Every structure is written in structure tokens, then in C-alpha cells.
Amino acid sequence: MKYLKSIILFIAFFAMSVAQNAQAQNVVELNKQQFLEKVWNYEANPEQWVYEGSLPCVIDFSATWCGPCRRMEPILENMALKYNGKIVVYKVDVDKESELAGLFGISSIPAFLFCPVKGEPQGTMGAYPADKFEEIIRSVLLGN
């Protein structure tokens, strides 16, 4: 009986881990090269914003040690799932990609860049409740 309980617990933990990893994959972490390809190639167009994506995006500038950043993770994951196919949600680790953070003057995290397909990006700083974050997505990225 103990053996059976151990197997059931193992399967349950494994299933939860797979589900969490599948959800976390909806938010895509970007390095500099991916940013240049998917968002803005500022090396080729240093004077002009030219969005490289086909869907609007949210970029989360954060760090693993940041408490408010970690609190935003489930909100970002939920938005990525809810608006799948309408927007893309990216994450930039400011410790790994300090050049990207500096490019946008990120001095406090979490910080977010909302990039519509056409027009200029808009930035915000600080953690938001889910309803406020969704309101920004709808108004800035989806035009609702």
C-alpha cells in the first residue's frame, strides 16, 4: 500500500510539474539576439523604431530575485494564454541582458514595454493587478 501511495504521489507531482512548465513556456524569455530578430533591430535601425513582430507584444523586464516581478509571473502567464494568437508575451532578465534594459532606461523593475504592431511602444514600471494589466493590453495593444 505504501508503494502504491508513493507512485500516486510521484505521478501527481510529475503532472503538476509538467503543467507548470507548459504554462511557463507561454512567456518567452528573450536574449539580445532574439530581441533584435523579434522586436526591434536597433543595430540596423538605431534612429527609428521598427517593430519586427507580426503580433503586438508585452515585454517584461524583470529579475529572478525581484519579489514584485515574481508576483507578476502568473498574471503574465495568464495573459499569454488568454490572448494566445493575439499578442506575444516576452520576458527579459535585466541581469542577463543589461544592454536591453539600458536601451529603454529601465531603472526599476518590474518594467513593461507594450509594443503595438504599428506605432511607438509604451512603457510602464511597477507591478499591476491583473485587471489593470489586462486593461493596458486591450487599450494599447488591441485597440479596444
Between 142 and 2, the more confident residue is 142
d(CA 130, CA 135): 9
Predicted confidence band of residue 144 (pLDDT cuts 50, 70, 90) = confident
Q: Where are the domains of the chain?
A: 27-141
Residue 119 vs residues 10, 76, 136: alpha-carbon distances, Å: 49, 23, 15
Helix (H) or strand (E) holding 96: none
Active site residues: 66, 69
**What secondary structure does DSSP assign to 45-94, as a single string?**
-TTS--B--SS-EEEEEE-TT-HHHHHHHHHHHHHHHHTBTTBEEEEEET
| Tens of pLDDT, residues 65-96 | 999 999 999 999 999 999 999 999 999 999 99
CATH architecture of 27-141: 3-Layer(aba) Sandwich (3.40)
Between 135 and 4, the more confident residue is 135
Specify the pTM: 0.81
Q: At residue 133, what are phi and psi to the nearest 5 degrees?
A: -60, -45
